[in-house]
Structure 1
Amino acid sequence: MQSTSNYLWLLNDILGQGATASVYKARRKQTGDHYAVKVFNHVSYLRPYEVQMREFDMLRKLNHKNIVKLLAVEEVGTTKQKVLVMEYCAGGSLHSVLEESENAFGLSESEFLIVLQSVVAGMNQLRENGVVHRDIKPGNIMRVVGEDGQSVYKLTDFGAARELEDDEQFMSLYGTEEYLHPDMYERAVLRKPQNKKYGVTVDLWSIGVTFYQTATGSLPFIPYGGPRKNKEMMHKITTEKPEGMIAGVQHRDCGPVEWSKELPITCRLSEGLKFLLVPILANILEADQAKCWGFDQFFAETNDILHRSVIHIFSLQQATVHKVYVHSYNTINVLMDAIFRQTDVPAVEQEFMYEGYCLELDLVQQVDLVPKTTEERPIILVSKEQKAPIGITYKEPDVPTFPPKFDLISDANLAKIVTCAVHQLLRITKSLMKCQDFILRGVYWMLAILKEECRNTVQRVATLNLKLDFCKSTMMRIQKIYGQQSRMNPSEGGDVHMKLQLTVHFLATISQNVQNSQKQLDQIAAQWSTTNDIHHKDSTIGKVEVLLEKVSAIHRQLKKDRMKMKLQYNDEQIHKFEKLNMGIHAKKVLALVREDAEQKYKKLLTCVKDWMRTACDIRKQLRSFGEQCESLHCDLENCGAYLNNMYNQIPLKVEGDQSTTKSTASTVYPDQKCMEMAIRMKQLKQEIEHVTKELQQNNMTIQSLSDGQKPQDI
């Protein structure tokens, strides 16, 4: 037990250890609250006194929520050894977060953005105070979980920090070799003499490596054998990196380096975020300090990402999930251009559905007026033209098999790799299932919208038929009168008669085609219902989660075995059985993903391709029918006006051999009024039927609630 006047701690309760100090979990004597104390070792006291005091001075002047707070400087017992008392970060370091099996391929997008925001805000505070950290790495970024459950990350360990303005340079060496700027690496690690000076941008290189590792779970530059074993190659990779590349990996001894200018497919970040992040990484992972961005540009570009809104989009025909990053003040035009970049669906072909309705967007409308979306409730994008399904892109992780040889260290390491792979397989399974959810939801909405459009088209045809009947009856009267009066020309109005006959044909054709479309939609609806039932009964995710828990439990046991270094005979046999069981569980997970989740997913992709092709054809046809109905409506209006006028101008022989003209009020008006009344009655009937249906549904809901049951989803 060690203590100061106000704090005490156990030496085995260590939180972290560095070259010059160790950090322990301590308690305040008066309250029992947890704190962190940094205790310096003898190596620290070999440094010049001003260097020893530098960290105290730095922490005293820095006060920010993204920087670990210095609460006190106290002395240990009678030794007068100074210790730093700091706030305790119960979430551990970013390094420990990345070491968790579920984060082996990087953090989730939401958590990555929190890291990005925290580091940027903390670094901005350092630069405002003219401080260069010189040891940025995941191990020096601590995590705290706030009252709202959200993470907050804080910069810590200012033992290497010093005051340095943007135009100043330094020559002293600090830092951790995997995160060192190549110029510093050459002198500090390779021990090559050089007289280079370093500026504040060396922190940007370390930040770039940290961000890449946070996004992917691995370092960006890896020589064969690893950075610590192949130091010369490590330096060669970082200094000879082609412009624009953000990663380089050597897979075999003396082999070529595989360069990449993109984040890997296993990365959990969306394409929308990658599009904005990759240029930042490319410009801060620049070995030439003259070409590297300065902090002003770095802060501008990162804050630009953090101030954007995220619009969640699901492209129905392509079966792809997207996150579009735009500013809330941008117009819909900008949003649609961003959607085009990710989906290759031109703005003129983009249509949207949200929560079962067509979403009409005004091109000059601002993005902040778009409905709020989430990963579970995206806007559904539908292209006017048929698009081939693409689906979720993913890479199945390698699942190693355990060798028969008994080796505590190797077994524990392999167990971690297997556990990481199963976590990734579970994520893939969830992505496939979520994609199927969105497909089924989008197709359901599309069917409902198309059925409504069919009903509207049928109603318009019925209205046109009423108008047509009126025109035909008026035409018959005119023909009858022409037949009774010899001085009339029977051929007068012949063109109108032909138009009416054509209209009869057009309306009959439209009615027949709409009926065919309704039958096709009913067929799709039946297929959809069967597929939807199968999908909602699927239990693949639950099975994988159960197997993951078993795999994780074995991993924890093998880690404990490794700590013992040697096992008794019975424990050794159990260890071997557990290793064997882990391999069996992993194979079951692979089989579930490949033979169950993937197969159902691919089958649904084939279905949605056929469904959406039919839906697109029907929608085009209905729009064509709509245009034809508009044209026929105009033609019938003109025909009706012409026939009314013609009918009213017919001279009739009346008693006394006097000629007169039929008045509109006495001849045409009653028929016109009857037609309008008939149309209105038909509309009233449909409205009453709709209200009756809603009342029936409400009664069913009330009845189910009174019976203590959940109302069935419609």
Structure 2
Amino acid sequence: MQSTANYLWHTDDLLGQGATASVYKARNKKSGELVAVKVFNTTSYLRPREVQVREFEVLRKLNHQNIIKLFAVEETGGSRQKVLVMEYCSSGSLLSVLESPENAFGLPEDEFLVVLRCVVAGMNHLRENGIVHRDIKPGNIMRLVGEEGQSIYKLTDFGAARELDDDEKFVSVYGTEEYLHPDMYERAVLRKPQQKAFGVTVDLWSIGVTLYHAATGSLPFIPFGGPRRNKEIMYRITTEKPAGAIAGAQRRENGPLEWSYTLPITCQLSLGLQSQLVPILANILEVEQAKCWGFDQFFAETSDILQRVVIHVFSLSQAVLHHVYIHAHNTIAIFQEAVHKQTSVAPRHQEYLFEGHLCVLEPSISAQHIAHTTASSPLTLFSTAIPKGLAFRDPALDVPKFVPKVDLQADYNTAKGVLGAGYQALRLARVLLDGQELMLRGLHWVMEVLQATCRRTLEVVRTSLLYLSSSLGTERSSSVAGMPEIQELKVAAELRSRLRTLAEVLSRCSQNIMETQESLSSLSQELVKSRDQVHEDRSIQQIQCCLDKMNFIYKQFKKSRMRPGLGYNEEQIHKLDKMNFSHLAKRLLQVFQEECVQKYQASLVTHGKRMRVVHETRNHLRLVGCSVAACNTEAQGVQESLSKILEELSHQLLQDRAKGAQASPPPIAPYPSPTPKDLLLHMQELCEGMKLLASDLLDNNRIIERTVKDLGDPLGSTGVW
């Protein structure tokens, strides 16, 4: 046990160790509060006095939630060693988070954004106080879990920090070699003499490497054999890196250097976030200080990312979920352009549904009016794009092999790598299953929209037929009532014939729409069956079960690697564990391939066929709608022509009645016939009826024209679907 006046700790509770100090978990003697104490060793006192006290002075000057807090500076009782009493972070460092097999390929997007926000805020506080850290790395970023379960990251270890303005330089070298700026690396690691002075931007290089590490789970610059084994190549990679490249690697001994301008496909960050992040990494991982961004631009660009909101968009045609990062004050037009960049679907072809409802997106309004989305409840983008599905790397390609002999450290490393690939398979399995669910749900919503279109069009057709039938029936009754002169009018006869033809066309349209409804109902039933199959899928549970068993063996290997060796019986158990671990990994990957990937690929093929049916049905309904609209338009014209003829006949009857009043009474007919007065009233009623019919047909035509327009135009230009 060791102690100061107010704090007590045991040397077994070691949290971290460096060249000049060790950090322990300690307690306040009175309150029992947990703290971290940094105890300096004898080597630290060989440094100049101003260097020894620099860390105390820097920490006393800082006060920020993303900077580790300094509570007190005390001394041990016996040796009177200096002790820094600081805030204790129970969740370890960012490095320990990244070393967990779950994060072998980088942090999830939400957690990465938390890291970015905390690091940027902490660094901004340092620059406001004129301090350069000089040892930024994941191991010096501590994690604390807040009261609401959220991660809070804090910069720590200010042993190398010093006060430095933006235009000042320094010549002393500090830091960890994988995260060092190449100029500092040349002198500190390669021991080459050079007279370069360094500025505050060296921290930006370290931040770039740290962010890349957090995003991908690996370092950006990797020579064959690793950074610590091949230092000359490491220096070459960092100094020869082309502009715009964010990573470089040497795949084989003495092999060429390969450059990457994007994050790897195994990265968990969405393409939407990657498109924002990659330019920042490219401009802070710049060797020449004149070309490297300054902190002002770095803070401006990172703040721009952090101030954006994410809108989740599932491209139904492509079967891909996108994260679209925009500002809340941006317009819908800007949002649609962002979608265009990620999906290649032009704004005029973008149509959206949300939770089964059509979304009216006016290009000029603010994007903040878009509904709140999540990955499981995104906007559904409907377009004519070709299905392509999720692009991913097979986790089996990243599975290392165990060495035949018992090597505790090597076996631990291999188990860690295999487990990391297993967790990647689990994540992908969930994404593939969620993708199938979103495909089926989106198609179901489109079916509902098309069914509603069918019902609306069918109602218009039936109403039009009812009016036409009524009209034709009235004309027949009028001719029977003693108006043979109308039948003899050639124009009127042709118009009545045309009305009957139009009624037949509308009848065929009605039958056609009902057949389409049956087809859509059949497809909807297929979707229900497919969704039931997705919900019954148990591949996720099977993979999780394998991972739980593998994780148990991995923890045993983690303990064993700290031992100098194993006894005979323990070694036999270790061999069995290796064998079981390998079998579990094989089973996991088999489930992933056969139950997840193959089913997903089959669902993509089926989805493509269904989407073709949807597009064909939609086009068919549009054509039917156009036909109905044309019939209504023509029927309206015919009714108006008939109305004019009736008006003329009515006028003629009035004239005949006037003449008849002056003439002698006609002889008595063998059969009664309508009087001129009755004929006049009947003709006037017919005329009014024709006018009403024409008006109703005009209203119907407006409805059907809107329906046709909805089927043919995207929301971006019409506001409806």
Establish whether TM, by shorter chain, passes 0.5. Answer: yes
Inter-CA distance 646–676: structure 2 relative to 1 (3 Å threshold): closer
Cα 1:491–1:25 change in 2 (3 A) is same
- Return the alpha-carbon distance in structure 2 between the equivalents of residues 511 and 674 of structure 1: 20
2: CA distance between counterparts of 1:285 and 1:479?
Answer: 92
Question: What does residue 489 of structure 2 align with?
Answer: 490
User: What is the match of residue 103 of structure 2?
Assistant: 103
SS of the residue corresponding to residue 571 of structure 1 reads helix
The Cα shift of 1:607 comes to 1.0
SS class of match (1:74): strand
Is the contact between residue 54 and residue 161 of structure 1 (CA under 8 Å) also seen in structure 2? yes
Partner of 2:579: 580
Q: Which residue of 2 aligns with 1:707?
A: none
* Counterpart contact for 2:509–2:628, Cα < 8 Å: no
Which residue does 1:299 correspond to in 2?
A: 299
1:346/1:676 CA distance change after superposition, 3 Å: closer
State percent identity of aligned pairs.
51
Displacement of 1:604 after TM fit?
0.9
Structure 2 partner of 1:159: 159
Structure with bigger gyration radius: 2
Contact (CA 8 Å) 1:648, 1:662: kept in 2 or not? no
Tell me how far 1:184 sits from its aligned partner: 0.6
Q: Which has the higher contact order (CA 8 A, sep 6+)?
A: 2
Q: Aligned partners of 1:479 and 1:491: how far apart in 2? A: 14
Aligned to 2:248: 248
Residue 327 of structure 1 corresponds to which residue in structure 2?
A: 327
Q: How far did residue 428 of structure 1 move?
A: 1.1
One-letter amino acid of the structure 1 residue matched with residue 616 of structure 2: D
Q: Please list the CA deviations of residues 112-163 of structure 1 after superposition, one character each: whole Å capped at 9, or x if unmatched.
A: 0000000000000011111111100000001011011110101111111111
Correspondence for 2:702: none
The answer to whether 1:395 aligns with 2:398 is no
Structure 1 position 657 matched with structure 2 position 660: yes
Query: 2:62 maps to which residue?
Result: 62
Asked whether the 8 Å contact 2:636–2:694 carries over to 1, the reply is no
Structure-to-structure mapping, 1:361-510, within 5 angstroms:
361-383=361-383, 385=384, 387-397=385-395, 398-476=398-476, 484-485=484-485, 490-493=489-492, 496-497=495-496, 499-510=498-509
How big is each residue's C-alpha offset from its partner over 1:334-353, in whole Å with a ceiling of 9 and x where there is no partner?
11111111111111111111
Q: Which residue of 2 aligns with 1:281?
A: 281
CA distance in 1, matches of 2:207, 2:501: 74
TM-score, length basis structure 1: 0.91
**What does residue 541 of structure 1 align with?**
540
SS in 2 for 1:649: helix
Verify the 8 A CA contact 2:37 2:83 in the aligned structure 1: yes
- 1:32 aligned residue: 32
One-letter identity of the residue aligned with 1:178 = E
CA distance in 1, matches of 2:177, 2:497: 90
Q: What letter corresponds to residue 625 of structure 1 in structure 2?
A: V
Deviates more, 1:176-185 or 1:473-482: 473-482
Tell whether the 8 Å contact from 2:144 to 2:153 is kept in structure 1 after alignment: yes
Paired residues for 1:563-642 under 5 Å: 563-642=562-641
Letter in 2 for 1:186: E
What's the counterpart of residue 686 of structure 1? none
Instruction: Describe the superposition over 1:538-562 as per-residue Cα deviations: whole angstroms up to 9, x where unpaired.
Output: 1000010000000000111112222
Distance 2:494 2:224 in 1: 87
CA distance in 1, matches of 2:564, 2:32: 36
Please state whether the residue corresponding to 1:303 is helix, strand or coil.
Answer: helix
Deviation by residue 1:628-670 (Cα, 9 ceiling, x = unmatched): 4334333333333332342233133669824774477644557
Q: Which amino acid aligns with 1:472?
A: L
Q: 1:455 to 1:104 in 2, by over 3 A?
A: same
Alpha-carbon distance between aligned partners in 2 of 1:677 and 1:172, rounded to the nearest angstrom: 89
Q: Show the counterpart of 2:718.
A: none
User: Which residue identity lines up with residue 366 of structure 2 in the other structure?
Assistant: Q
What secondary structure sits across from 2:490 in the alignment? coil
Structure 2 vs 1, CA of residues 675 and 346 (structure 1 numbering), >3 Å: closer, same or farther? closer
Alignment of 1:176-215 (within 5 A): 176-215=176-215
Find the aligned partners of 2:454 and 2:91 in 1 and give their Cα distance. Answer: 57
- Paired residue for 1:23? 23
User: Deviation of residue 410 (structure 1)?
Assistant: 1.6
**Aligned residue number for residue 689 of structure 1:** none
Distance in 2 (CA, whole Å) between partners of 1:181 and 1:29 is: 43
Contact conserved, 2:636 with 2:697, CA < 8 A, in 1?
A: no
Q: CA deviation at 1:443?
A: 1.2
Of residues 659-668 and 617-626 in structure 1, the stretch that sits farther from structure 2 once superposed is 659-668
Q: Counterparts of 2:423 and 2:31 in 1: how far apart (Å)?
A: 40
Structural RMSD (CA): 2.3
| Unaligned residue ranges in structure 2 (runs of 5+) | 662-675, 700-721
Aligned: 1:555 with 2:554: yes
**Distance in structure 2 (CA, Å) of the matches to 1:425 and 1:117:** 28
Distance 2:116 2:148 in 1: 19
- Residue 219 (structure 1) aligns with: 219
Calculate the TM-score normalised by the size of structure 2. 0.90
CA contact (8 A) 1:223 1:234 kept: yes
Preserved contact between residue 464 and residue 697 of structure 2 (Cα < 8 Å): no
What is the deviation of 1:504? 2.3
**Is 2:126 the counterpart of 1:126?**
yes
Q: CA deviation at 1:78?
A: 4.1
